[in-house]
């Protein structure tokens, strides 16, 4: 009889735990994946930044971060990554209550174009690993990769179908510095003009006094 009671208690706890995790495991669980740059040059290195956050008291035995990435981005570390029409990467983390995890994955831009993350999501489970729970998250980060068509390391030269070729210097003069130089130049020019005017007035006064003395 005691054995049946223990089995009944175990089944009850098992069902209660499974139902509770199914209802609340994905609550207040956030995932954000973004590029470290919005614009890069072909051949540049960038970082894919994963930020997973559990904002509740319920611990999770694990979470699997699932990311689809364009094949034009080549990971330096291809661990847990498979390749077909996209790169499919899965990273596993153990998440405590009220914890935040940040991971930076280095990649190289191998092809020009405009790229977004097709899909990002999370898979988790209950404590007994009997139920898998999945959730997708919006991927609002984008990356524009420009082709470099010259050999000058100080410029990025690219072509478009609307303009001619442009070389954009990486050392851009800040607008506030330019304004300061313009104000200083205007002040110097104003000072020179006032000085010339005062000299002219003084010469005219001297010339009039000389004529009166004659």
Model confidence pLDDT, tens digit, residues 122-161: 999 888 888 889 999 988 889 999 986 665 655 555 555 5
* CA-to-CA separations, 138 to 34, 94, 195, in angstroms, rounded: 11, 22, 65
Q: Which of 86-90, 121-125, 164-168 has the lowest mean pLDDT?
A: 164-168
> Are 161 and 181 in a shared domain?
no
Position 164 pLDDT exceeds 70: no
Sheet containing 119-125: which strands, arranged edge to edge? 81-83, 87-95, 60-69, 119-125, 132-137
Most confident of 6-15, 115-124, 162-171: 115-124
> Are 178 and 165 in a shared domain?
no
Compute the distance between CA of residue 30 and CA of residue 65 in angstroms, rounded to an integer: 11
> Are 154 and 183 in a shared domain?
no
> Are 14 and 89 in a shared domain?
yes
> Are 96 and 195 in a shared domain?
no
Compute the distance between CA of residue 109 and CA of residue 25 in angstroms, rounded to an integer: 36
> Are 50 and 154 in a shared domain?
yes
> Are 128 and 183 in a shared domain?
no
Task: Write down the pLDDT at residue 139.
Answer: 85
Position 180 pLDDT exceeds 60: yes
Binned at pLDDT 50, 70 and 90, residue 11 comes out as: confident
> Are 184 and 198 in a shared domain?
yes
| Average pLDDT over the chain, rounded to an integer | 82
Task: Write down the pLDDT at residue 148.
Answer: 67
> Are 187 and 113 in a shared domain?
no
Compute the distance between CA of residue 18 and CA of residue 31 in angstroms, rounded to an integer: 23
Which residue shows structure tokens 């800040």?
174
Task: Write down the pLDDT at residue 166.
Answer: 44
Query: Which residues fall within 8 angstroms of residue 95, CB to CB, at 6 or more apart?
Result: 52, 54, 59, 60, 62, 63, 101, 124
Is residue 113 in some structural domain? yes
Provide the domain count of the chain: 2
Q: Determine what percent of the chain is predicted with pLDDT higher than 70.
A: 83
Position 26 pLDDT exceeds 50: yes
When pLDDT is averaged across residues 59-72 and rounded to a whole number, the result is: 91
What is residue 214's three-state secondary structure? coil
Is residue 214 in some structural domain? no
Which range of residues forms the domain containing residue 62? 2-169
Contact 120, 108 (CB under 8 A): no
User: Between residues 78 and 204, which one has the greater pLDDT?
Assistant: 78
> Are 54 and 20 in a shared domain?
yes
Tokens read off for 2: 């005691």
CATH number at residue 7: 2.60.40.10
């Amino acid at each position: 009889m005691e054995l049946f009671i223990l089995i009944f208690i175990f089944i009850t706890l098992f069902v209660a735990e499974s139902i509770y995790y199914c209802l609340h495991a994905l609550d207040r669980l956030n995932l954000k994946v973004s590029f470290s740059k919005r614009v890069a040059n072909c051949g540049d290195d960038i970082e894919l930044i994963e930020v997973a956050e559990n904002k509740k008291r319920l611990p999770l035995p694990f979470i699997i971060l699932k990311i689809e990435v364009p094949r034009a981005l080549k990971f330096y570390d291809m661990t847990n990554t498979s390749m077909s029409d996209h790169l499919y990467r899965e990273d596993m983390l153990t998440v405590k209550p009220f914890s935040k995890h940040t991971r930076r994955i280095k990649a190289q831009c191998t092809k020009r174009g405009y790229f977004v993350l097709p899909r990002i999501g999370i898979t988790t489970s209950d404590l007994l690993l009997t139920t898998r729970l999945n959730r997708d998250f919006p991927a609002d980060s984008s990356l524009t990769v420009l082709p470099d068509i010259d050999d000058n390391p100080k410029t990025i030269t690219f072509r478009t179908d609307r303009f001619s070729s442009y070389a954009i210097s990486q050392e851009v003069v800040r607008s506030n510095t330019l304004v300061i130089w313009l104000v200083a130049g205007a002040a110097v020019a104003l000072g020179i003009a006032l000085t010339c005017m005062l000299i002219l007035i003084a010469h005219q006064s001297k010339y009039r006094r000389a004529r009166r003395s004659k």
